[in-house]
Structure 1
């Protein structure tokens, strides 16, 4: 006997509950399995929740509810990078190896203005998963639209970690000057 589909409002309430309780992103496919609907239905549900001003973002690792009551607000720093696609792995590893999170990537498009994509990369595994997905989907890095120039919002528990990673990125020639 097939498990019944969870009705729309009830399903969205459950999705919201699961996202709020989770400390890590949840993949759309996982939400689809738990609610016995297609991944495309989940995409629609997430859009409806966002339209109700729920702070949900889509990352390369899945959906994440942005918690606003963070007690330890991390230190943030916006960097401007410029490197080839082949240097992406080294750039990202350099950042996460300092205990710093890559929140997003931003490029300036001549028509659309700033294009921002959430990354939330904090570990080498996160970086490997991101690059693996990039490779398996034949997708291009956003920085290919801007000849390698892109921005990252970085977050770290301490200012010293941000200073150290910026110093190393500059030594490697990855910071745009």
Structure 2
């Protein structure tokens, strides 16, 4: 199977899945290395295809939106990361990404797609296992999350909970 056929097969697999597909699973199924899959995903994205990459796997973003989305600017140190994410989830929010502003590169964004405490725990465990720095470590802890809730009232609740806990970066 050549590269083009492999990328078409990847698209078939992603279209046929309801959830995310791990890169290692794609590599095993297509009998290539994980790095080849990373390159294939970059090529698919370069074609303008809505391939999303998360810590828990790849998926196609269909653009179907039912919820209310808002970018929330937060600030905290590494020790409070789990608390911040758990508060958002417990208030009915889903964390799509994290972004920081870099003085050279501009806005840097990483996809998170944290929808549940299980997703959150997997993310935190991977960060710990890999000893990976938070993206916000380059911006003094200041970062933003694209958060989605079912409606505006739920978003108001997320904001209020984050405000009371001191996470929102407001008037500092």
User: The TM-score by the shorter chain falls in which range?
Assistant: over 0.9
Question: Which residue does the alignment assign to 2:48?
Answer: 53
Counterpart position of 1:141:
134
Residues 10-68 of structure 1, C-alpha deviations (whole Å, 9 max, x = no match): 22111111112222221110100011111111111111211211111211111121112
- RMSD of aligned residue pairs (Cα, Å): 1.1
Q: What TM-score do the two structures reach when normalised by structure 1?
A: 0.92
Separation in 2 of the partners of 1:130 and 1:104?
A: 12
From 31, 51, 54, the equivalent of 1:36 is 31
Could you tell me whether the CA contact under 8 Å between 2:76 and 2:142 is conserved in 1? Answer: yes
CA distance in structure 2 between the aligned counterparts of 1:136 and 1:42, rounded to whole angstroms: 22
Post-superposition offset of 1:99: 2.1
In structure 2, distance between residues paired with 1:52 and 1:24: 22
Does the residue aligned with 1:128 lie in a helix, a strand or coil?
helix
Q: TM-score, normalised by structure 2?
A: 0.95
Ranges in structure 1 where 5+ consecutive residues have no aligned partner:
1-5
Larger CA deviation: 49-58 vs 109-118? 49-58
- Name the counterpart of 1:157: 150
Residue 94 in 1 paired to residue 91 in 2?
no
Q: Which of structure 1's runs of 4+ aligned residues deviate more than 4 A? A: none
Aligned residues: 170
